[in-house]
Amino acid sequence: MSKRSEEKAVQTAGARIARVYAEALLNVAVKQHKADTMLEQLDSLVNDVFAAEPLLENYLSSRAVKHDEKERTIRASFEKRADPMFVKFLLVLNTHNRLDLLRSILHSYRNLNDQRARRLRVKVRTAVPLPEDRRAELKAGLHNYFGLEPVLEERVLPELLGGMIVQIGDRVLDGSVQTKIERLRTQLLVNSNYEIQSGRNRFSD
């Protein structure tokens, strides 16, 4: 097995394990009506705390650091700030050497929680902030088409010039002015090359 294939296999196995832990957490959280709370705290840990303190993520993920040392850090850092269920979950991950999967667990948990709540996450990229009426129109159209409650993740990209890019999973619906310009430019280049080649052929004849 090549190094790249081995790395891919490890990543796939890690994703499967992460999903198992995410499912276990979600099942317990749903019973205690804390599904969204656990998502918020997972997201905050990964995207806020780890972003501000990358050394903490490296520390928790390291197999070289002993369990009891990590446990003390977890308790000192989160017991007074996070939900007890979330702290317990971190301690379970620590016991099983799975703290390095927190990012993958967040990804799986969010997807599973969205499925449970019949939500659809939609990435929307626009050149300017989306007006409220346009946002409502987009959400209504997505809801009617998919039968799910859309959650728009909006981002403003001035370089798009106009229009919008809507991404659902791996599907991308690109209606930006920038893309239309690029398509027109490509078409013009293709047509120009065709005309040049046709002229050469006529000259050769």
The pLDDT tens digits of the residues spanning 53-70 come to 999 999 999 999 999 999
Maximum Cα interatomic distance, the chain, rounded to a whole number of Å: 85
**What's the rounded Cα separation, in Å, for the pair 29 and 83?**
11
Higher pLDDT, 184 or 13: 13
Residue 19 binned pLDDT confidence (cut-offs 50, 70, 90): very high
Examine the pLDDT at 193 and tell me if it is beyond 80: no
Residue 75 binned pLDDT confidence (cut-offs 50, 70, 90): very high
Average pLDDT, the chain: 84
**CATH annotation of 3-115:** 1.10.520.20
The pLDDT tens digits of the residues spanning 123-141 come to 989 888 988 988 898 888 8
Residue 166 binned pLDDT confidence (cut-offs 50, 70, 90): confident
108 close to 22: Cβ distance less than 8 angstroms: yes
| pLDDT > 90 in the chain, percent | 52
Residue 8: per-residue pLDDT: 52
Residue 177: per-residue pLDDT: 55
Residue 10: per-residue pLDDT: 45
Alpha helix stretches (DSSP H) within the chain: 3-31, 35-44, 50-52, 54-61, 67-78, 84-95, 102-116, 132-146, 177-204
Average pLDDT over residues 95-109: 95
- Domain assignments of the chain as residue spans, ordered by start: 3-115, 119-197
